[in-house]
Amino acid sequence: MSVVNSHEAPRAAPASPNPGTVVGEFLRTVQECPEVVAVRSVDGASSLTWMQVRRRVASLAAGLQRLGLRHGDTVALMLKNRPEFLVADVAAMCLGAAPFSIYATSPVGQIVEALENSDARVILCECVFLPQILEARALWPNLENVIVLEGGATAGTLDWAQVEAGAEGFDLDAAVALVQPHDLAAIVYTSGTTGPAKGVELTHASIVTIARTNHLLLACAPTNRYLSWLPTAGMAERITTHYVPLIYGGTVSFCDDTRMVAQALPKVSPHVFFAPPRFWEKLKGAIEAQWAGLPQSERAAVTQALAAAIEKVRLVQTGAPVPPALAARCDQAERELFAPLRRTLGLSAERLYACSGGAAASTPLLEFFFALGLPLDEPYGQTESSALGTRSPRGQIRIGSVGKAQPGVEVMLAGDGEILIRSPATMRGYRKLTDATAATKDEQGWLRTGDLGTVDADGYFRIVGRKKDTIINSFGKNMSPVNIESALTMAGPFVCQAVVIGEARNYNVAVLTLDSEYVKTWAKRNELSSPEDISALVRDPRVRAEVEREVKLANEKLARVEQIKKFHIAGGEWLPGSLEVTPTMKLKRSVIADQYASDIDALYAEVG
């Protein structure tokens, strides 16, 4: 077992009620830094200080109380990344209610499932989501109040501004004093990779524990800047840009369009930045494309500098000494190339913590960013563990590992290699799913993650696959699809996503998607007909030849038994919330296998 116990220096004596609750800590934050900007738009055109946020929270809480919201109720939120999300979430908690977020990509059926499971009678939303919410209310009539932003209220709904109006007589401090650490503070729905989403119940005590554990690594302070851009329905975003600032202060900038995050980064220069591997892959491609456009002499210099930096990264990772001449070349590259590049990207804040998560990143991808002076950590956790689990100590990241047990978190391997996690922040349980809770969390509080791992002598864990995802071919060979899929997506710019099939088969095949943006640009440059029609490009032999080249390159890095013999191109990338992937871009393997069953069977039916 790898266990870390750490003690945080106590904070100053609380001056607000219930410091062991999220809302009590929020009131303390307001008291300590009332004039610090709490939330803002990316361009800085609009902003609220922490004291102004408190006033908005009090007004909304008063309005929700007038509508009948009480301690122990639940509140649904369907909002993009914007300041009103923070206001609504905190206002609900101040009344002792538990808020939860619905993914912006959720179809009506999933909205109804969340409303029924949560028993929500109130939802706060943007008018863009109103049509599907009203359709969901027809199927869940217990949804009494639909509160709409931006003056988008219609018959049978309420205007948000009117609900906020008139907070006279409401005592926010008195309301917060009634909230207890053991009260339910949030429901976070899992991404649903293996079936219907489950509602993970988290208490105030759990969330405060999460924030304090993150504080030990991030050194959270009122001067910290955060960029909110991933779905607020996901645990990672809630921790990084919501709970941590609520409890320790700081400024959160909101970007409500994930396509614009690269443009938002230089405007914010966050101290913490979390992104899935696909973001880092696209950023790497953009940097390389920019370098490719340099004059030949400059391009050669950049290539040599990058090669030297990667060589140094590999030496440091193995514990080998770095020759003085190589160190000098890398120092020069840092000053003249990499540091200016990081400033341009908006990833140069002092003590920046940048990480990749949600899926495994490939070694070449991580080495590239390490070389640029952006060491990406790969922390590990699950919604059920409040995203706590393992994380690398600062300056001690080992590429390919997910780090060591976080302070106050116990992590160990079961007899079959399954990773088990236990901490005070572990979920109370799945809402209304007693049997599923018992199957996931045992009587001693250990959470069965379903992930298989290894741990070295220094306590660093590695993820080797999912118990249910392991492929066992017809010859009895066990394989992890994650490693194979990573090789496919990192072999070049054409393949965007990959799902490997091979269970009880003689060889492996893959269902692939294309990076639509890149392929269309490539098609125009090469004068293909219908360059904007991705379905036509999938059938074009020149596109297929490029994909075949990338598959061949991936196969060269795989064991013979792991190699992909044949593949099917499904089309452009699967988008968040589609049938094939979750809102957080996790692949639904069983769904994909069923969806493309006939295409997969055809690959195995082919001769050769």
Q: What is the pLDDT of residues 413-448, one digit of tens each?
A: 999 999 999 999 999 999 999 999 999 999 999 999
CA distance 542 to 514: 13
In this structure, which amino acid lies at residue 467? K
Residues 238 and 100 in one domain: yes
Only one residue has tokens 């538990």, namely 98
pLDDT in tens, 526-560: 888 888 888 889 899 999 999 999 999 999 888 88
Residues 502 and 430 in one domain: no
CA distance 420 to 440: 10
pLDDT interval class at 236 (50, 70, 90): confident
Decide the pairing of beta strands 184-189 and 145-148: unpaired
Instruction: With residue 60 as reference, give the H or E element that holds it.
Output: helix 50-66
In the chain, how many domains are there?
Answer: 3
pLDDT in tens, 582-601: 777 778 888 899 999 999 99
Task: Indicate the SS3 state at residue 350.
Answer: coil
In this structure, which amino acid lies at residue 268? V
pLDDT in tens, 357-405: 887 888 889 999 999 999 999 999 999 998 889 999 999 999 999 999 9
pLDDT in tens, 23-36: 999 999 999 999 99
Residues 140 and 61 in one domain: yes
Instruction: Tell me if 261 is assigned to some domain.
Output: no
Residues 166 and 311 in one domain: no
Instruction: Tell me if 366 is assigned to some domain.
Output: yes
Residues 305 and 412 in one domain: yes
Instruction: Tell me if 99 is assigned to some domain.
Output: yes
| pLDDT over 60 (residue 8) | no
Residues 491 and 444 in one domain: no
What's the confidence (pLDDT) of residue 192?
A: 63
Q: Which of 451, 466, 481 is the last residue of a domain?
A: 466
Q: State the CATH number of the domain containing residue 108.
A: 3.40.50.980
Residues 505 and 429 in one domain: no
Residues 424 and 548 in one domain: no
CA distance 255 to 232: 11
pLDDT interval class at 470 (50, 70, 90): confident
What's the confidence (pLDDT) of residue 43?
A: 87
Residues 457 and 477 in one domain: no
Residues 451 and 571 in one domain: no
pLDDT interval class at 327 (50, 70, 90): very high
Per residue, the 3-state secondary structure of 552-576, as one string, reads: HHHHCCCCHHHCEEEEEEEEECCCC
Task: Indicate the SS3 state at residue 49.
Answer: strand
Sheet containing strand 495-501, edge to edge, reads 495-501, 508-514, 564-572
| pLDDT over 90 (residue 153) | no
CA distance 397 to 195: 34
Percent of the chain with pLDDT over 90: 69
Instruction: Tell me if 168 is assigned to some domain.
Output: yes
Range of the structural domain that residue 89 is part of: 17-245
> What's this model's pTM, rounded to 2 decimal places?
0.82
What's the confidence (pLDDT) of residue 3?
A: 41
Q: Which of 245, 269, 290 is the last residue of a domain?
A: 245
Instruction: Tell me if 571 is assigned to some domain.
Output: yes
Residues 331 and 410 in one domain: yes
Q: Are 532 and 521 in contact (CB under 8 A)?
A: no
Instruction: Tell me if 269 is assigned to some domain.
Output: no
Q: Which of 447, 466, 485 is the last residue of a domain?
A: 466
Q: State the CATH number of the domain containing residue 600.
A: 3.30.300.30
Residues 6+ apart with CB under 8 A from 419: 380, 389, 411, 412, 413, 449, 451, 452, 453, 461, 463
Residues 142 and 187 in one domain: yes
What's the confidence (pLDDT) of residue 15?
A: 46
Instruction: Tell me if 272 is assigned to some domain.
Output: no
**CA angle, corner 188, sides to 214 and 102, nearest 5?**
125
What's the confidence (pLDDT) of residue 421?
A: 97
User: 479 forms bridges with which residues in the sheet?
Assistant: 471
Instruction: Tell me if 259 is assigned to some domain.
Output: no
Which two tokens mark 121? 């009678």
